[in-house]
Structures are given as C-alpha cells and as structure tokens.
Amino acid sequence: MRGPHNIWRLIRTGATLERTGAMPVVLDAFQAPPSLRFAARLLGWPFKWLGDRGDPNLPPAPRALTALGPAYIKFGQVLSTRPDVVGEELATQMRVLQDKLPPFPLEVARRTIESELEMPVDTIFSELSEPVAAASIAQVHKARLRDTGQLVAVKVLRPGIERAFRRDIDAFYLAARMIELLAPSTRRLRPMDVIAHFEGVVLGELDLRLETSANAEFVANTARDEGFRVPEVHWFLSARRVMTLDWVEGIPAGDVAAIEAAGHDRQALGERVLKLFLSHALRDGFFHADMHQGNLKIGADGAIVALDFGIMGRLDEYTRRVYAEIIFGFIRKDYRRVAEVHFEAGYVPPDRDIDEFARALRAVGEPIFGMDATRISMGRLLNYLFEVTERFGMETRTELILLQRTMVVVEGVSRSLYPQINIWNVAQPIVEDYIRDNIGPKAFLRDMTRTAVVLSRFGPRLPRLAEDLLIARSRAPEPVPKPSRWPLVMAGGAGAAAATAIFALGALLG
C-alpha cells in the first residue's frame, strides 16, 4: 500500500498540524533543516482549512495527534519513549496522550467473541457487561464465567482496527522516506527504523495472542515476587482478537488519597514499585514497559497488581550485565570503569579517547550526586548519559531508550506514592545482588558450563568440522595478521566464555 496514494494522508496530517499550531513545535523538536521545514509547510499551510481543530485544552502536539485518530495517538505514545528522537520537552508532552475513545456497541463485541472463540457467548459467560474501558485499539468488558462463576475481564479489538492502522503506518513510512531524502542529516535518527519500531509495537498489540503470551511469561517470572500480582490469562478463552484474564479489584495507583485512606504504607509501596521494576529488568530481562499509574492497582492486601501487557521490554543477558555495571559504576562514582564498560561493549567507537569520555561521565554524575537525596533521579542520569554517549558517537539503542523511558515513568509513580524516596538507596541492593550473582568468578564458571554444553551438542560433528577446517586452511592463502579485538567485556561475560572455548578449540586444531 506504500505509494503516492498516501500523499493525501500526509496532506491531511500537515493540515491538522498547521491548524492546531503543532507544526512549528514538531519541526523544532526534530531540529528540522530548512528543506524539510519548507516541504512540511508546503504540505500543510495551503490546506490548513482541511485540518481538524482538535481539543483546544491540550498542548498543540497532543491536540493534533488526538484529532488525527488512533494510529497517531499510539504513535505519539511510542514517541514519548524516544526523547532521543523528539527531544525531552515534546516527549514529556506526548506522555499526556490518552487513547480513551467512544466504545463500540456490545453487540459488535459479542459477535467478535463468538467468531474468535467459535462458540456462543451465552455458553461461555453468564454475564457480559457493557464496556468498562475503551481505548484506541480495544475495549474491556466485565464478565462472569458460566462454568465457575469467576469474574473475568474480556478485551476485544475494535472492528476494522487492523486495516486502519496498516493504512496509517504506510503513510508514516512514506513520510519517513521523504524526511530522509529531504534532510540527510536526520538519518542519524533513523526515521525508517523509528517507524519500523512503531509498527512492531502496534502489530504486537493488534494480535492479542502475543499479549496473552507476554502475560503468561510475566506471570511465570514474577510468581515468587512478594507483594506483586499479575492477573492470569485464560488461554482457551483467548484468540487473535479476544483476550480473557482474571478480573482485578483494587485502588488505582494514581489515587493517593484513597490509598492513604485504606491504610496502606505509601513508603513501602513506592519503594516496592522501583525494586520490582529493577528486578524484572535485571533478573528476568523482561519488564513491563508501560508501568504508569493507569496500569497499576493496589489490592486490598497491599499487593501491587500490574495490568495491560501490550508493551513489554526485553534485555538480553549481555545487555543486562552492561547496564548493571554502568549503574553500579555511577553508584561508586567509578567513572573510569563506566567508561571502560562502554568501550568494551562497543557502545562507543574504539577510536575515541577513553579518558576524555570518563571526564565527560564525571560531568554527568557529579551534579546529580550533589543533589538532595530525594531529588536524585536514575532516569535523569540515564538521559544525561545518552546525551554524552551521542556526542562520542554511540548509535541509538532502542532497548536502552525504552528502559530509560520506563525508568522515568516508574520513578514518577514511586515519588507520587512517597515523595521523599531515595532512589539510590532503593536501587543499590538490587544492583549489588545482580552484580554479585552475574559478574565475577561464579558467573564465569556458569558461562563456561553453558558454553561446554553448547559445544557438546556438536560432539558427534566436531571431528568432521575440524577436518573441514584444516582442509579449508590448507587451501586458503596465508592471511595477513591483524591485532586481536575480542570484545571481552566483563569477568563472567558470555563473550569471555565463548572466546576461551574457541581459543581452546583453535589450539586443539593446531
């Protein structure tokens, strides 16, 4: 569908941005060069009268995106996770976007449920309420299972939403391509990759089987987390356009007055939110990436209950180790080690001066540590860190940006519950425990064992592989020796174990 016919959609977008006053805000946030500004205004200004007015009570950019519809609202929400692309100010504005839309009729939801689950609604549920919440992609109904009488939440996709989103995503790709052509300097922000990231997020939310799977994985990972619950999904009552999970009662995490009135310990809740997020990110490498107050409830027993698993973050084990060492280095004010980790991980090009980089990191850390303890922010630290690494040539890493954005949101939730929270005091034991278990001799032995297990799977094939390698080496011209540049990042790193095994195998083969 990507092609010239999408130009009309871009004209409508430009007209709405002009009419709501969002065009200059967006262009300034992207630091658009003159050529791109001219093209954008050309698409918008002559057709301003065709644009939607939007809600005048909203800031210009959220006002425009809300007027343009569900795909644009969701795109704005995703951009709120990318301050590296749109700037901190616009990213903050985007976080106020709410995708609350009028619900579609109950009868349409019933037809969708029957079509997806292939059985009559009355056979499954003894009760099915009118919508209790309606968003841009789906709406939620409260229901009661006929067999057990259990209360459940039934999430149903909006009719035709997949086609509508794909149509708008096609227009986004055309816009990204035009931006790259008209303003080559913007390629460092990788506009096409930003749209591809958005497409991946949205397509994941448009297939509720993926959210069901994410829910199940999160339940398994957090089963032993004290004071934390995740509603369990009902697999056999879930499909591509329908998702059924346990109904949850509780106080919204944003209703501080009600939490106080219920007698809950706000300090304990604020600290627990932060500890849980760090544990999920470091211990599991799988974390809730949309952990705002609207997706958290406080149960009657004081447990924190997480909802909505459409946007989840994932970190591989190597990245978790790097991230933990960076945080730990800042906690100890060991800026040289933080710099070394960036170079060892390949985040910063090897031709840059490590001492200059360490000095720049000190300029990031010291002002923050000089603040009052209750004002210290890990999210702010990571934001400043990304600014410095960008100056030293670090490419955008989407998974770290998502982590940083979620960290900011989680800190906000924690401080709303307990404004006097000391972020570092709460984070330090979590990071130290991870460092102790995953970096050092014990972790090195564990990685070597894993490497040996992997190599053992190829045991029957090793003689033939060795023979083929020797034959290939005898036939190939002698290579020119080059300096070794093995990325042995940390003691206990998987790269170290793999490299050791490969070197040993090389020695064995002569």
Residue numbers annotated as active site: 290
What type of residue sits at position 100? K
Residue type, 389: T
Cα–Cα distance between 347 and 338 in angstroms, integer? 11
Q: Helix H segments across 222-353?
A: 256-261, 266-279, 317-331, 335-344
Separation of alpha carbons 187 and 192, rounded Å = 9
Greatest pairwise CA separation for the chain in angstroms: 80
The encoded tokens of residue 260 equal 């106080």
Rg over CA atoms, the chain: 26
Are β-strands 304-306 and 151-157 bridged in parallel, bridged antiparallel, or unpaired? unpaired
Residue whose token pair is 């090009």: 349
Is 61 in contact with 76 (CB distance < 8 Å)? yes
Q: For residue 298, which phi and psi values (nearest 5 degrees)?
A: -110, 115
Helical axes 191-205 vs 70-79, angle rounded to 10°: 120
Distance CA 397, CA 171 (A): 25
Render 109-157 in DSSP notation, one character per residue.
HHHHHHHHHTS-HHHHEEEEEEEEEE-SSEEEEEEEETTT--EEEEEEE
| Sequence-distant contacts of 332-340: CB under 8 A, at least 24 apart | 333/365, 333/366, 333/369, 335/359, 335/361, 335/362, 335/365
Q: What number of other Cβ atoms are within 10 A of residue 301's Cβ?
A: 9
